[in-house]
Amino acid sequence: MVAVSLVGVLTGGGLSGTAAATEVGVGDGVDVTSAQAEQLEVASARVLRGMSLEEKVGQLFVTWVNGKTAEQADPKNQADFGVDTAAEAVRRYHLGGVIYFNNDSRDNFDDPGQVARLSNGLQAAALGSGARIPLQIGTDQEGGTVTRMGAPATEFPNSMAVAAGRDVSAGMQVGAVLGRELRAVGINQDYAPDADVNSNPANPVIGVRSFSGQPGLAGEFVSAEVRGYQEGPAAKAVSATAKHFPGHGDAATDSHTGLPRIDRSEEQWRAIDVPPFKAAIAAGVDSIMSAHIQFPSLDPSGEPATLSKPIITGKLRGELGYDGVVITDSLEMQGVRELHSDAEIPVLALKAGVDQLLMPANLRLAIDSVLSAVKSGNLPMQRIDQSVLRVLKLKLKRGILTAPFTDPAQVGRSVGTPEHLAIARRIADRSITAVANDARVLPLKEKPATALVAGWGVASTQTLAERLSAHGTKATALQTGQTPSDEMIAQAAGAAKNTDLVVVLTNNLGGFPRQNKLLQALMDTGKPVIAVAAQIPYDAGYDNPVPTWLATYGYFTPSLEALAKAVLGKTKPSGKLPVDVPAGADVHTVRYPFGHGLTW
């Protein structure tokens, strides 16, 4: 419950660094039940009353920061925010949150201990600013393809692989493990799970990030993962974020580069896209992320959902009854910038009913636009206060206001533990799906002495070869890519002739059909060939010469280790397709139906 000492700290309108550090120890938190909702409201309102307009508006923004320490100068911070360090950015703009990345331009990850120290430094900066309110620190840790904190942290397969195992409790385990490991390094929000129903096999951006192409199965796993993230002591739990409302699963365009249009009817939307979001809301999800997509049946104006009051306030708030935090997808993405300027977007999003603005392309411009809109009366103060109150309630509910710091010395007790790694292995083992075995190549009659791993991906072919070798079959990797040249195909065929078994990894046969030429050349050698859909399972549905197909739904280490064991007979494939696999580009003809999966 909300402790009396905490209410006393909040009475002054904010949290001092000393109070935050001493009133509540690291590891303590606020466990919230429905009976304590009024206390949350009262405590959050006290903080709100003590905030200036600039501090309130700052709480509505979540942005990236540059660097691996809070106080280290990075020229990119000067270019992005007009300051030298990440800590200065937090203080100057009274930020409500930051988001961590691990790419070349924005790399915040080195090792778990470093991340914990970065988080503590940023929280100290937040407590030293005018608002004195700790940060939401978030990242995109979906598992599989979208993983920001890699090894030695626990790596999980993609969501579609988890659902292929059909064990709903595995979804809860994924959320619980990822949540515990993120909170150990000071990250208190995960922008996961993906609640989209991948009903379009040609979807260029969702795919295996979705649990399923069927709303019922997707909803079961979304609910389980949300509970995994959020259940348990507040200072150990992480806020989950269901995304991307009102549903990105039928998109044919990547909203990073364009503005997708979804032409479902409203009735189809309710039947297909809504169930996973309803399941997330029923599970108490802390936040929901909007999509930069046009959905004319829900809003004929053509506005992207992020900026649509009929969708955010009308459908999400009104029809679905959601009163938690709504955050935008990244405002750097082209989908939301197609129709409006960077100055207009944050104001339109807040008018639509959004609470938090994620990664505006120009933070200073975005904040100034909101401040100007409030001062001119274009954006009511009541709308600002409503969103700030939701953010504060979330922070109090998750123990962020009372226990913002973590202990870097204890990170090893939570991150990448043997127990967590074993959970990931078990989930991956259950996911491997035997789609076709017409030539009865599997199970292998005897363990091959040698194998060739060819096809897509430097890391994926090399990792699989290493895992096969570790299990007693000497394997060689030959990365031929998604568009193998004639010379590379000839090299692969030559190598195949001198081996006992060929395993070829494919990735998006529909978009990169030259992989079929590689498959044909390998089959022509007369060697046993096992084709593996190493990302989207739809590859197995295209006309191709290989009669033996497995699906892994991803290429991270747990999936490739599980694949090696299935190929060599150490485990039996038990996965079931979470989607319909159509006959190639003919999406109206199902070649392998939802639920299909062979075993022996």
Q: What are the catalytic residues?
A: 256, 329
Sign of CA dihedral 470, 475, 480, 482: negative
Strand pairing class (529-533; 474-479): unpaired
Q: By three-state DSSP, how is residue 531 classified?
A: strand
User: 246 preceded by cis ω (within 30°)?
Assistant: yes
Q: How far apart are CA 371 and CA 507, in angstroms?
A: 47
For residue 354, give both structure tokens.
């959004």
Q: Which residues on adjacent β-strands are paired with residue 532?
A: 505, 550
3-state class (DSSP) for residue 558: helix
E-assigned strand segments in 35-96: 61-64
DSSP-assigned letter for residue 416: S
Please provide the DSSP assignment of 445-493 as one string.
SS--SEEEEEES-HHHHHHHHHHHHHTT-EEEEEE--SS--HHHHHHHH
Ramachandran quadrant class, 299 (left: phi over 0; alpha: psi -120 to 50; beta: rest): beta
Q: List the beta bridge partners of residue 598.
A: 434
* Contacts of residue 104, Cβ cutoff 8 Å, sequence gap at least 6: none
Pinpoint the alpha helices (H) of 273-362: 274-282, 309, 334-337, 344-352
Phi then psi for residue 104, to 5 deg, are -65, -35
Tally of CA atoms within 13 A in the half-sphere of 21 that contains its CB: 11
* Pairwise CA distance, residues 562 & 569, whole Å: 11
Phi, psi angle pair for 598, to nearest 5°: -90, 160
User: Position 106: which residue type?
Assistant: R
Contact of 56 with 384, CB cutoff 8 Å: yes
Give the 3-state secondary structure of 178-209: HHHHHHHCCCCEECCCECCCCCCCCCCCCHHH
CB of 447 closer than 8 Å to CB of 149: no
Closest CA to 253 of 208, 205, 303: 205
Determine the length of the chain: 600
Pair 62, 95: CB distance under 8 Å = yes
Count of C-beta atoms within a 10 Å radius of residue 339? 16
